[in-house]
């Protein structure tokens, strides 16, 4: 231990030693020797360490203080604005086959490569050693994690996003059974990672370690977020519980009843805004662990904060988060615009924005062009805010409950302009997992990738993070549901239907109506119409809920336009997804194809009787 003792003060050393964990000491020793930081700071759960990290971020310039008390802004470089899918790989040992949809690399080659980048990477810097707990502390759901990073911003973000776990770490004993993350931002220039072409996120599933380098963007660096999610997906596969890319929220029903839902939506499909619906309660907005208990699915939020997209966040559509972002208290903004008065602006904020300032691409002024002559927008479209969950005035009372909450419904939310009805309930758990979850697609929007309207497949919104073949993941979900006496109902939603003229058929807050309908369904308090694709709401019920929740008149014409069963489009979707799975094999895939055939047959039968587009009143 001599070596490491020289790099840290007595207090830090004492904190490490008190854990009585050889694997922790070995790990820290290994990366101190390799990365060669000037100093090492070990954090426990104290307020003192929290403050230290927060202050370091500002001292080092990784975050800049803003006009509002507690607010800071961080910039990732112009080329480091999102998860790097191409360079995120599983390091696989000989004989391991994770299927063709996963990105893999030979273990030794990848290990050597990333450790080559780690060598001396922390010279001139301080290393932070952190301990956290995923899921509520000291519960069946808890997973212990250790993070090493040379970025105070990453460490600070983790304080807002996760439950500190130093004390819990003491209770796990001298074990290797915890997740480990090593991150170095690499060489910095203007405080952003300079060598992004050497950005790597490599995952070792056998040892539960993730290596990340030459990047700062939180999705690549904050080990506890998507990196831990991959490890947890792998861990739970043999343990009869689920790790899902799902929010967890409470929906208030009649007479004080509350029903909890967990929902998976790909990016830009309304996940966070559903989780934060005014009048309902939020437990988490991104990742859930779900375990069986008394025949029910019991869920917790893995995290303790929100790393949310700050685009189109405005007072009218997102009143809850708007208030947090506009009042004092700890907020880390990233990759938006800061003006000379230290005020910040983002895309779609609905108020006047500054004409110049500093953003993710450096000095900015209105009309700025990039090297290709394209406009540089005032903020990045994947810009983010980081806040603690309990800052939200609708945080649920059970967010820290070690037992979690019982889930009444799973929601799978896609984005299409012409195919799926706004809300439908599956015929069974398996039907829902297969036909809403495993077929999930989202259309690209003008604001995201190149072409608009390109449908992107993303089963259960988890494709980017899967740690083993698709068949096994689907099977794991089916088995989990089959083992419950009271499995969640499963719903499919689509907030993005458009008219022929290209106008959205629903308002942003209409999702508040759909969740109320789902709440009634879970409690057997609403009838439904059976269609080939699932059960859809009755007009009378929606009319009532629209009036109650939004004070809006809901017309029969709106209902018909929204809930028409569009047979050719629905069959085209089945055909698309058949192609996606054509190269996959296994029992769950077979079941999926059986379900495709059955659904197609139901659709064709209806089509032969009633035509291509069928009004819900005609079914």
Q: How many other CB atoms are found less than 10 A from the CB of residue 438?
A: 26
Query: What sign for the dihedral angle of Cα 100, 102, 108, 112?
Result: positive
225 binds, among ligand SPV, Mn ion, none (CB under 5 to 8 A by kind): ligand SPV
Taking CA 615 as the corner, what is the angle to CA 611 and CA 618, rounded to the nearest 5 degrees?
A: 85
Is 133 an annotated catalytic residue? no
Alpha helices in 259-377 (DSSP H): 271-275, 319-325
SS3 string of 437-496? HCCCEEECCCCCCCCCCCEEECHHHCHHHCCCCHHHHHHHHHHHHHCCCCCCEEEEEECC
Asked if 267 interacts with ligand SPV (CB under 6 A), we say yes
Q: How far is the CB of 117 from ligand SPV (least distance, A)?
A: 21
Selected binder of ligand SPV within 75, 202, 307, 559 (CB under 6 A): 307
Choose the stretch contacting Mn ion; rule: CB under 5 A; options: 160-168, 284-292, 463-471, 564-572.
284-292
Asked if 360 interacts with ligand SPV (CB under 6 A), we say no
Q: How far is the CB of 441 from ligand SPV (least distance, A)?
A: 16
Residues 431-460 that bind ligand SPV (CB under 6 A): none
Which of the 8 DSSP states describes residue 505?
Answer: S
Asked if 135 interacts with ligand SPV (CB under 6 A), we say no
Selected binder of Mn ion within 285, 286, 303, 441 (CB under 5 A): 286
CB closer to Mn ion, 110 vs 219: 219
CB closer to ligand SPV, 92 vs 268: 268
Selected binder of ligand SPV within 62, 76, 286, 510 (CB under 6 A): 286
- CA dist 349 and 277 (Å) reads 18
In sequence order, the β-bridge partners of residue 244 are: 288
CB closest to ligand SPV, residue no: 219
Q: How far is the CB of 246 from Mn ion (least distance, A)?
A: 9
218 binds, among ligand SPV, Mn ion, none (CB under 5 to 8 A by kind): ligand SPV
Q: Which of 43, 145, 236, 269 is catalytic?
A: 269
Q: How far is the CB of 176 from ligand SPV (least distance, A)?
A: 27
- CA dist 323 and 316 (Å) reads 11
- What share of residues in the chain are helix, strand, coil (percent, to 5)? 35, 25, 40
Site string for ligand SPV, 74-93 (x = CB under 6 A): ---------x----------
User: Is residue 449 packed enough to be buried (19+ CB in 10 Å), middle (13-18) or exposed (0-12)?
Assistant: exposed
C-alpha closest to that of 200 among 188, 218, 184: 184
Site string for ligand SPV, 192-231 (x = CB under 6 A): --------------------------xx-----xx-----
Asked if 263 interacts with ligand SPV (CB under 6 A), we say no
Asked if 44 interacts with ligand SPV (CB under 6 A), we say no
User: For 555-571, b where at least 16 C-beta lie within 10 A, e where not — what string?
Assistant: eeebbbebbbbbbeebb
- CA dist 95 and 112 (Å) reads 19
204 binds, among ligand SPV, Mn ion, none (CB under 5 to 8 A by kind): none
CB closer to ligand SPV, 267 vs 398: 267
- Specify whether the CB–CB gap between 187 and 206 falls below 8 A: no
Query: What sign for the dihedral angle of Cα 98, 101, 102, 103?
Result: positive
CB closer to ligand SPV, 83 vs 235: 83
Q: How far is the CB of 214 from ligand SPV (least distance, A)?
A: 16
Binding residues for ligand SPV, rule: CB under 6 A, are: 83, 218-219, 225-226, 267, 286, 307
Q: Which amino acids are annotated catalytic? A: 269
């Amino acid at each position: 231990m001599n070596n490491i003792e020289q790099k840290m003060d007595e207090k830090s050393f004492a904190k490490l030693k008190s854990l009585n964990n050889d694997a922790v000491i070995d790990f820290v020793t290994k990366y101190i020797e390799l990365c060669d930081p000037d100093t090492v700071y070990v954090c426990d759960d104290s307020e003192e360490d929290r403050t230290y990290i927060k202050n370091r971020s500002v001292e080092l310039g990784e975050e800049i203080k803003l006009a509002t008390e507690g607010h800071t802004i961080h910039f990732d470089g112009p080329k480091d604005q999102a998860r790097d899918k191409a360079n995120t790989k599983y390091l696989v040992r000989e004989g391991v086959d994770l299927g063709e949809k996963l990105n893999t690399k030979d273990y030794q080659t990848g290990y050597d490569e990333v450790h080559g980048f780690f060598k001396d990477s922390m010279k001139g810097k301080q290393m932070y050693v952190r301990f956290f707990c995923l899921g509520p502390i000291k519960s069946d759901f808890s997973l212990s994690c250790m993070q090493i990073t040379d970025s105070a911003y990453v460490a600070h973000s983790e304080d807002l996003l996760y439950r500190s776990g130093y004390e819990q770490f003491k209770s796990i004993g001298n074990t290797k059974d915890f997740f480990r993350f090593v991150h170095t931002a690499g060489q910095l220039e203007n405080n952003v990672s300079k060598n992004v072409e050497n950005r790597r996120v490599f995952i070792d599933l056998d040892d539960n370690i993730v290596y990340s380098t030459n990047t700062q963007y939180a999705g690549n660096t904050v080990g506890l977020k998507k990196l831990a999610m991959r490890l947890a997906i792998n861990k739970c596969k043999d343990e009869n519980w689920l790790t899902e890319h799902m929010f967890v929220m409470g929906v208030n029903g009649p007479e004080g009843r509350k029903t909890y839902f967990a929902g998976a939506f790909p990016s830009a499909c309304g996940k966070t805004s559903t989780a934060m619906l005014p009048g309902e309660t939020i437990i988490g907005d991104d990742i859930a662990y779900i375990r069986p208990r008394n025949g029910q699915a019991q869920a917790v939020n893995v995290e303790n904060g929100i790393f949310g997209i700050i685009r189109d966040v405005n007072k009218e559509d997102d009143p809850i988060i708007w208030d947090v972002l506009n009042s004092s208290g700890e907020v880390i903004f990233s990759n938006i615009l800061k003006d000379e008065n230290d005020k910040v602006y983002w895309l779609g904020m609905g108020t006047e924005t500054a004409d110049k300032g500093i953003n993710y691409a450096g000095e900015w002024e209105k009309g700025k062009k990039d090297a290709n002559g394209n406009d540089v927008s005032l903020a990045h479209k994947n810009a983010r805010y980081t806040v603690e969950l309990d800052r939200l005035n609708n945080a649920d009372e059970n967010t820290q409950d070690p037992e979690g909450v019982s889930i009444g419904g799973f929601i799978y939310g896609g984005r299409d302009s012409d195919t799926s009805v706004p809300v439908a309930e599956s015929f069974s758990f398996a039907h829902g997992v297969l036909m809403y979850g495993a077929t999930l697609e989202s259309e690209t929007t003008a604001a995201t990738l190149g072409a608009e309207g390109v449908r992107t497949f993303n089963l259960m919104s988890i494709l980017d993070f899967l740690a083993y073949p698709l068949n096994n993941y689907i099977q794991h979900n089916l088995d989990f549901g089959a083992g419950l006496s009271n499995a969640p109902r499963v719903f499919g939603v689509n907030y993005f239907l458009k008219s022929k003229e290209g106008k959205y058929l629903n308002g942003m807050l209409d999702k508040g109506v759909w969740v109320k309908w789902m709440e009634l369904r879970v409690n057997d308090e609403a009838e439904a119409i059976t269609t080939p694709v699932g059960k859809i709401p009755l007009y009378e019920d929606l009319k009532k809920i629209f009036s109650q929740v939004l004070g809006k008149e809901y017309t029969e014409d709106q209902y018909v336009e929204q809930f028409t069963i569009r047979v050719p489009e629905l069959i085209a979707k089945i055909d698309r997804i058949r192609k996606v799975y054509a190269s996959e094999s296994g029992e769950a895939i077979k079941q999926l194809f059986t379900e495709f055939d059955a659904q197609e047959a139901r659709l064709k039968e209806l089509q032969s009787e009633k035509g291509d587009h069928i009004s819900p009143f005609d079914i």
